[in-house]
Structure 1
């Protein structure tokens, strides 16, 4: 158990079993959401680049 890093809530810090379970669960969630954010960010960056290129190529 660590008071500096990890998934720290009052309940998760009650005992070692809850601490390990909470941290392994939150680690899986962080990985899943991280992968989703990379995919979404990549798609958005591709869309924004195309729109910006079209916007800068048209002169009015």
Structure 2
């Protein structure tokens, strides 16, 4: 995956999160939880994309 693709995906995720936070009425706690979940998901995706985390497909939850 090229660096340009990573930057484009990060911009799209950021804009979508901003749109959700701005235009969808939610309680502040729900917005905070949503923001934390999205940030953690993006960090895990970035770590996997750059090979730091390894393959998440091998992780099994029983």
Which structure: larger Rg? 1
Greater helix content: 2
Q: Normalising TM by the smaller chain, what interval? A: 0.3 to 0.5
Structure having greater relative contact order (Cα 8 Å, sep ≥ 6): 2
Provide the TM-score with structure 2 as the length reference.
0.45
Q: Taking structure 1 as the reference length, what is the TM-score of the superposition?
A: 0.46
